[in-house]
Structure 1
Amino acid sequence: MSDKIYFNTSNKLNFKKRVVNLTTRAHHKLAPNHAKRSAKNLLLTPVRSKPKNQQPEGLIKAEVHTSEGVLKTYRLGSGPVWLFTHGWSGTASQFYPLMSYVAQQGFTALAYDHPAHGESEGLYGHIPAFVAGLEGLLDSEDNVVGLIGHSMGTAAAIECKHAKLQNIPLLLIAPVLDYVDNLFGSVARSGYSMRLFEAVVGDIQDQYRFPIQSIDPYGKLAKRVAPTVIVHDEQDRFTNYEVSRQAANEMPKVTLLTTQGQGHGRVMQSSEAQQAFDLLSK
């Protein structure tokens, strides 16, 4: 259900949107605690997607224990490690083609399923959980020389303060650099009660001590000293291409490779994604 909210890009006012707004507002007013529990299940439960691509030969599956539970990892190749972090309702399998390319260049490609995604443990997905899971993975891994992220996984990577990420290159595919605006805009377009949504966000902030207004991938990217290459499709309907273009224009360490007709997902398998890796790895 949450995908219908977060991946809804329509701004049209319609009867269904009005009904959703009235119903969720009334629920929150009459039974606030029950409404928050229902909202958490609806808004923070990603779709457990099935593998998107054929498993490459030589892939090693393992597990790593983190504060967010046991996360499933997928390792291919040998050599210095490039870490892969997927987006909302995604899985590590989306990266299999690019992982194969990275492994062929003499590196280890290491992907994992975020909490509540794929084969990993967890019930709820959100940025604080994504960051905590990433930190747990980094604690268990040495010789990380780069990171490749997609969509919401890019925001989590930029927000992560782990020392192993601070001075390595980033390859950001269809990044969501305006995360807070993107998130609240998606929920608002659905008609869902914003007051109820803010109450759910408040509980997460308190639990993780992670204020949502502190989430600023764009601002934090501007302060990074290591190079970043963004690969973004000009017609991406889910994350804002213009924000990526602005970042490349304003930030000396950021380069943008633009694709056409690849959308939000297929761009992960584009020749531009491989080209971006070559630029960063060499």
Structure 2
Amino acid sequence: MTKKSPISNQSLQIPKPILLTAKLLEAISPKLVTLFAAKLFTTPIKHKIPKRELHMEQNSRQSKLLVPSLKKEIMVYEYGEGEKKVLLVHGWSGRGTQLVKIADELVKLGYQIVSFDAPAHGKSEGRTTIMTEFIASILEIEKQLGPFEFAIGHSLGGMSILNAIKQGFKVKKAVTIGSGDIIQDILDDFVSKLKLNPKIAGRLKQHFEKKFGESMENYSAHVAAQEVKIPVLVIHDKNDHDVNIKAAYNIDKHLENSELMITEHLGHRKILGNELVINSIKEFLKT
């Protein structure tokens, strides 16, 4: 399923001072540049809420929710008045109102939307975070505000939903949009954007595995997908410069019950507001 559009998407660019610092540290010490890259990798950028999202931000019931396992509070948004709930999960450097176009359409269908600013994102506390904290947040939100009919996640949010389902999160259907997949691929891409020696990606993975005491590949989306039995709609754009299209094909291949929707010329973020994409999500959830 494809749709052509004149709009394409450019990947977020890393500022020159950061690139220069990374190159300098690489020349000095592999350990120093690995620690620097690890810090960058776990530090999201907080963006100002754009105008198109303000009505959701203003009309949501907002509350702080404590995630005990993290000892962190996150900001939760409840939007709409429906009895049946849908959880929306943003991606890296996103925010709880980022999937506003999808939220608006689901509210019209009578659902209540629950979304949140992940740790270190939006109005939630902290400066650094990682996917395991997204997953912990989803599981805690389910405990306190569930149950949920469906879950929809963008980018890292899609990966987090699949991993949360693997860990016991219960929904009838799920949708991933522009989801990443293999952790090593994500690290390789990150190190490439920093213009560092590709070997640093391997060191970065070792750093995190030593820190957290487990293999990072346990969290690859296709690994989680093997444990997911519910229907999943996998949406991805051919021209996504942030996450390669191969992630969608691999996730789809490992799901037991899935539909794959491939778009064109929407990139990694414009896809969230595309009418055809939103209509396909609505049809998938209704049938």
Tell me which interval the TM-score lies in, with the shorter structure as reference length. 0.7 to 0.9
3-state SS in 2 of match to 1:229: strand
Gaps of 5+ in 2: 1-10
* Alignment partners' CA distance in 1, 2:79 and 2:23: 50
Which of 249, 258, 270 in structure 1 is aligned with 2:274?
Answer: 270
Q: 2:184·2:205 contact (CA, 8 Å) conserved in 1?
A: no
Equivalent residues in 2 for 1:125-274 (5 A)? 125-160=129-164, 161-165=166-170, 168-192=172-196, 201-202=205-206, 204-248=208-252, 251=255, 253-271=257-275, 272-274=277-279
Name the CA distance, whole Å, in 1 between partners of 2:83 and 2:101: 18
Please state how far the C-alpha of 1:8 moved relative to its aligned partner: 5.5
RMSD of aligned C-alpha atoms? 2.9
- In structure 1, C-alpha distance between the alignment counterparts of 2:96 and 2:245, rounded to whole Å: 23
Matched, 1:50 2:31: no
- Deviation, structure 1 residue 172: 0.6
Q: Distance in 2 between matches of 1:235 and 1:118?
A: 27
In structure 2, C-alpha distance between the alignment counterparts of 1:40 and 1:247, rounded to whole Å: 26
AA aligned to 1:225 is K
TM-score by length of 1: 0.81
Matches of 2:177 and 2:104 in 1, distance apart?
17
CA pair 144-179 structure 1, distance change in 2 beyond 3 A = same
Query: What is the CA deviation profile of residues 35-56 of structure 1, one whole-angstrom value per residue up to 9, with x for unaligned ones?
Result: 6654443332110111132223
Residue 13 of structure 1: aligned partner: none
> 1 CA distance for matches of 2:208 and 2:45?
20
The answer (yes or no) to whether the contact 1:233–1:260 under 8 Å persists in 2 is yes
Match of 1:63 in 2: 64
Structure 1 pair 104/253, CA: closer, same or farther in 2 (3 Å)? same
Counterparts in 2 of 1:5-154, with a 5 A limit?
7=12, 23-28=24-29, 32=31, 38-52=36-50, 53-56=53-56, 58-66=59-67, 67-68=69-70, 69-77=72-80, 78-154=82-158
1:86 corresponds to which letter in structure 2? H
1:264 alignment partner, SS class: coil
| Percent of matched pairs sharing the same residue | 18
Kindly indicate whether the alpha-carbon contact (under 8 Å) linking 1:28 and 1:196 is maintained by their aligned counterparts in 2.
no
Partners in 1 of 2:221 and 2:284 — Cα distance? 22
Aligned-residue offset at 1:203: 5.1
Residues 128 and 210, structure 1, Cα contact 8 Å, conserved in 2: no
The whole-number CA distance in structure 2 between the counterparts of 1:201 and 1:44 is: 13
Task: Please say which of residues 185-194 and 254-263 is displaced more in the overlay.
Answer: 185-194
The answer as to whether partners of 2:139 and 2:169 remain within 8 angstroms in 1 is no
The gaps in structure 1 that reach 5 residues or longer are: 1-5, 10-15
Query: Per-residue deviation at 1:273?
Result: 2.7
CA 1:193–1:129: 2 relative to 1, 3 Å: farther
Q: Residues 260, 39 of structure 1: CA spacing in aligned structure 2 closer, same or farther, 3 A cutoff?
A: closer
Deviation at 1:159, TM superposition (A): 1.7
Tell me the alpha carbon deviations over residues 195-220 of structure 1, each in whole angstroms, 9 at most, x when there is no partner.
66655554544554442132221132
* CA-to-aligned-CA distance 1:84-111 (integer Å, 9 cap, x gap): 1111111112111211111111111111
Residue 278 to residue 63, structure 1, CA distance change in 2 (3 Å): farther
| 245 and 63 in structure 1: CA distance in 2 versus 1, 3 angstrom threshold | same
- Kindly tell me: are residues 250 and 206 of structure 1, through their superposed partners in 2, closer, same or farther at Cα, counting changes over 3 Å? closer
Change in 2 beyond 3 A, CA 1:204/1:141: farther
